[in-house]
């Protein structure tokens, strides 16, 4: 169910609906779930979006029960807008899906999402940024991200993606499954880590993630340099 304001033309609104419907068909199959009610979508001009939502300038969209996306200046659905729509639609289905039935599907979508992306950053730079104290630890990133600056948000997304890759590499898919299950019952993210993976934020940052980045990406970079 779509509403739009100002800069969203009827043609763009129609394309957004078709894009979301196509994505919805894929996601409901992967998640094995169809919500009982319609999903609300609101398209904003950029100025109106930030005035209404009060999110930082780096945010590409928001899901607060409805999918809210800025579309100022667009006449068609771009690749970036399509990715934002799918990201927010995935949130919508996971939020709506009953907790006792959500685990398998939402875990699958989370894994498929990060596997498609992988760590698309310079691993050496990411590790150096963290070890120099310029990047935030997982303990800090467990808080609200809407207070982060643009640079901090880019780091947070990159580091969080690396953490998920590292857990998968270290503990397999079962490790991610146990962690997501524990997050539903434990009082904090760190308690969930201890329960599911027998680790804490500091160890996951240092011993698992930073080491994973060095082991996985730095040899590739060094090999490329030697070949040149």
* Average pLDDT along the chain: 80
E strands, 14-146, in order? 41-44, 62-63, 67-70
Sign of the dihedral defined by the CA atoms of residues 89, 90, 91, 97, in that order: positive
Distance CA(3)–CA(1), nearest Å, equals 7
Q: Indicate whether 100 pLDDT > 50.
A: no
pLDDT digits (tens, 9 = 90+) for 189-220: 889 899 999 999 999 999 898 898 888 887 65
Q: Considering only CA atoms, which of 141, 37, 44 is closest in space to residue 93?
A: 37
User: Can you give the pLDDT at residue 119?
Assistant: 52
Pair of tokens at residue 45: 């001009």
The model's pLDDT over 171-190, given as tens digits with 9 standing for 90+, comes to 987 887 788 778 778 888 88
| Structure confidence at residue 97 (pLDDT) | 58
Give tens-digit pLDDT for 46-98. Answer: 778 888 888 998 988 988 889 999 988 888 999 999 999 998 898 888 766 55
Find the farthest-apart pair of alpha carbons in the chain and give their distance in angstroms, rounded. 57
Residue 190, Cβ density class (10 Å: 0-12 exposed, 13-18 middle, ≥19 buried): middle
Phi/psi at 68 (nearest 5 deg)?
A: -120, 125
Where residue 142 falls among pLDDT bands split at 50, 70, 90? Answer: confident
Average pLDDT (148-154) is 87
Count Cβ atoms below 10 Å from residue 49 Cβ, excluding itself. Answer: 25
The predicted structure's pLDDT at residue 33: 78
Rounded to an integer, what distance in angstroms lies between the CA atom of residue 196 and that of residue 91? 23
| Gap between the Cα atoms of 158 and 122, Å rounded | 10
More confident residue, 28 or 116: 28
Q: Are 168 and 111 in contact (CB under 8 A)?
A: yes
pTM: 0.73
Q: pLDDT, tens digit, for every residue of 121-137?
A: 567 778 777 777 777 88
pLDDT top residue among 184 and 106: 184
């Amino acid at each position: 169910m779509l509403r739009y304001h100002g800069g969203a033309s009827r043609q763009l609104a129609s394309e957004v609906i078709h894009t979301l419907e196509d994505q919805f068909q894929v996601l409901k199959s992967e998640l094995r779930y169809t919500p009982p009610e319609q999903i609300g979508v609101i398209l904003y001009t950029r100025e109106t979006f930030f005035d209404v939502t009060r999110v930082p300038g780096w945010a590409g969209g928001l899901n607060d029960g409805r999918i809210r996306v800025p579309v100022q200046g667009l006449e068609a659905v771009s690749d970036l807008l399509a990715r934002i729509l799918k990201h927010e639609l995935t949130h919508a289905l996971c939020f709506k899906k009953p907790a006792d039935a959500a685990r398998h599907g939402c875990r699958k979508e989370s894994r498929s999402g990060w596997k498609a992306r992988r760590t698309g950053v310079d691993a050496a730079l990411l590790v150096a940024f963290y070890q120099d104290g310029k990047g935030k630890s997982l303990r800090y990133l467990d808080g609200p991200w809407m207070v982060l600056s643009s640079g901090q948000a880019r780091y947070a997304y990159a580091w969080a993606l690396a953490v998920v890759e590292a857990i998968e590499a270290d503990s397999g898919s079962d490790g991610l499954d146990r962690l997501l299950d524990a997050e539903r019952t434990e009082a904090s993210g760190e308690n969930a880590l201890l329960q599911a993976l027998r680790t804490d934020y500091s160890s996951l940052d240092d011993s698992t993630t930073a080491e994973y980045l060095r082991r996985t990406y730095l040899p590739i970079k060094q090999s490329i340099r030697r070949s040149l």
